[in-house]
Amino acid sequence: MPLDVVILAAGQGKRMHSALPKVLHPLAGRPLLAHVIDAARSLAPRRIHVVYGHGGGQVKKAFIDADLNWVEQTEQLGTGHALKQALPALDPAGSVLVLNGDVPLVRRETLAKLAEAGRAGLAIVTCDLVDPTGYGRVLRDARGSVERIVEQKDASPQQLAIREWYAGALCGGAARLAAWLGKLTNRNAQGEYYLTDVIGFAAQDGIEIATVKATDPWEVAGVNSKRELASLEREVQRRVAERLLERGVTLADPARIDVRGELDCARDVTIDVNCVFEGRVSLGERVRIGANCVLRNVSIAADTEIHPFSLLDDAQIGARCRVGPYARLRPGAQLAEDVHIGNFVEVKASRIGAGSKANHLSYVGDAEVGARVNIGAGTITCNYDGSAKHRTVIEDECFIGSDATLVAPLRIAKGSYIGAGSTISKDTPAGQLTVARARQVSVPGWKPRGKKD
């Protein structure tokens, strides 16, 4: 039987107090909705349909490359109304799995059980909580069969004492769901068309309602506020830290690491406190990351050390390098092996050869730096003329004196020495010292204007 997945993602999320649609708020560096879509894709369904409404343009733009069927809910009249908008796109002979776009940690195993149970009639996911305040309660008859769901605002005091709650995911035949959706009314405390009423209709029709119990409350936890989002973020990061520790990564403090993408670590990697990893980051054997570093889409080879407070963005770093502290590698930075990039050095769109060093207070942009080059403190490659970028080439074994200004386009030939304080705007000959600075002059008897003897 073909399976369609419908993700309900039209809500405004008023309690988030944000102009950003709720399902686009990030969890572990990705939108909430992205996590739900990944879970749905793991089942290889016929099609994934996303019902959008509030901030629809932003939501669609965030997933412009995804193979999704977008269904607009022009008026947010409740979850039942939202699913009804998707009915024309569903296979009437198939089954439908309904998920919420703000429940990001649902597991494939749970969804697979739900999809299988739903083929026979109707199945829902439930969970037991000590305090299920805010959630719809599962009402069962004397035999233990599910009768219906009652929402928090419509529940009696006795019903509010029930600990089993409906976790917002269900699966059933498309044709049956369509018939039950046609019976919905909005005669309730919120004036909305509840999808949960479908469960009561199914029970009235004699359909046995299967339940898939989620034993991990985090798996079915929704996000309705920044507080809940922050709690979920901490749980996700705790799980990431546990996986890293199990793989042999040394974490100075498992509670102080944030992975907002994919972090791949080889053996004997050490990560100090307060480090953030975004996008795809790969760390080779024995790599050490100092405290308070941010790495985004970075590849680092074995035995390299990143010293504290460094920012690395879209960079490739070779083996046995030393970077930082307070270094910045911008997009396009490529370091060969044994390169030293020191404190307050910025590298952008540049390749730096093996054994080269820029240890202090320098900017290297749009440059080709050869092997065994020494770049002195305060050196600047002047790569931008106001309208275009130009490249600087520094060949092997050059020595660039402190406070040198290299005006691109420029080639510093192999073995060149550049005198400290020089402004170099013409190509240099190989193996020679080049000095370009004004003659030092002292004026005898000079006094500051207005100063008396």
- In eight-state DSSP terms, residue 409 is S
Lowest mean pLDDT among 188-192, 304-308, 380-384, 423-427: 188-192
| 67-81, 351-365, 394-408: least confidently modelled range | 67-81
Output b/e per residue, 336-348; b: 16+ Cβ within 10 A. Answer: bbbbbbbebbbbb
- Range in 5-9, 120-124, 129-133 with the lowest mean pLDDT: 129-133
Indicate which residue of 17, 54, 81, 360 is catalytic: 360
pLDDT recorded at residue 453? 60
197: its two tokens? 């009423």
Burial of 374 by CB count in 10 Å (0-12 exposed, 13-18 middle, 19+ buried)?
Answer: middle
Tokens of 61: 């733009």
- From 11-20, 235-244, 260-269, 287-296, the region with the lowest mean pLDDT: 11-20
Q: Residue type for 147, please?
A: E
Q: Is residue 78 a contact partner of residue 58, using CB atoms and an 8 Å limit?
A: no
Q: What is the pLDDT of residues 152-196, one digit of tens each?
A: 888 999 999 999 999 999 999 999 999 999 999 998 888 899 999
Q: Check residue 451 and give its pLDDT.
A: 61
Give the amino acid at 92: P
Please give the average per-residue pLDDT across 392-421, as a whole number: 98
Q: Which long-range contacts (CB under 8 A, 24 or more apart) does 159-165 make?
A: 162/132, 162/137, 162/138, 163/128, 163/129, 163/130, 163/132, 164/126, 164/127, 164/128, 164/132, 164/137, 164/138, 164/140, 165/126, 165/127, 165/128, 165/129, 165/132, 165/135, 165/136, 165/137, 165/138
C-alpha 103 chain-centroid distance: 16
Each residue's pLDDT tens digit, 110-129 = 999 999 999 888 999 999 98
Residue 373 clears pLDDT 70, i.e. is over it: yes
Domain 3-220 and domain 226-434 have a common topology: no
- Banded pLDDT at 94 (limits 50, 70, 90): very high
Q: Would you state the pLDDT for residue 103? A: 97
* Residue pointed to by tokens 């029930």: 162
Closest CA to 163 of 125, 197, 127: 127
311: alpha, beta or left, given left = phi > 0 and alpha = psi -120 to 50?
A: beta
Integer CA distances (angstroms), 15 to 7, 186, 200, in order: 20, 23, 29
From first CA to last CA, the distance across the chain in angstroms is: 102
What is the rounded (10 degree) CA torsion for 171, 176, 180, 182? 120
* 3-220 CATH: 3.90.550.10
Look at 25 and 12; give whichever has higher pLDDT: 25
CATH topology (fold) of 226-434: UDP N-Acetylglucosamine Acyltransferase; domain 1 (2.160.10)
Q: Is the pLDDT of residue 145 over 90?
A: yes
> In this structure, is the dihedral angle defined by the CA atoms of residues 221, 225, 231 and 236, taken in order, positive or negative?
positive
- What is the maximum span of the chain, computed from C-alpha positions, in angstroms? 109
Buried-exposed string 174-189: b where 16+ CB fall within 10 A, e elsewhere: bbbbbebbeebeeebe
pLDDT per residue as tens digits for the range 24-68: 999 999 999 999 999 999 999 999 999 999 888 899 999 988 899
Q: In the prediction, which pLDDT does 117 show? A: 94
Tokens of 55: 């901030």
Q: What is the mean pLDDT of residues 96-109?
A: 97
- Domains of the chain, residue spans: 3-220, 226-434
Give the separation between CA 420 and CA 425, rounded to whole angstroms. Answer: 15
What is the pLDDT averaged over residues 313-321?
A: 98
Cα separation, 343 vs 100, in Å, equals 47
Among residues 177, 1, 146, which one has the least CA distance to residue 79? 177
Mean pLDDT along residues 74-92: 94
Which ranges of 42-132 would DSSP assign to H, the alpha helix?
56-62, 79-86, 108-118
Predicted local distance difference test score (pLDDT) of residue 256: 97
360 is catalytic: yes
Instruction: State the DSSP H helix or E strand holding residue 374, giving kind and residue range, or none if neither.
Output: strand 374-375
- What is the per-residue DSSP string for 314-372? EEEE-TT-EE-SS-EE-TT-EE-TT-EEEET-EEES-EE-TT-EEEES-EEESEEE-TT
Calpha distance 429→437 (Å, rounded): 17
**Percent of the chain whose pLDDT exceeds 70:** 99
pLDDT of residue 56: 86
Express each pLDDT in 415-452 by its tens digit. 999 999 999 999 999 999 999 998 888 899 888 887 66
Percentage of the chain beyond pLDDT 90 is 88
Confidence of residue 135 (pLDDT cuts 50, 70, 90): confident
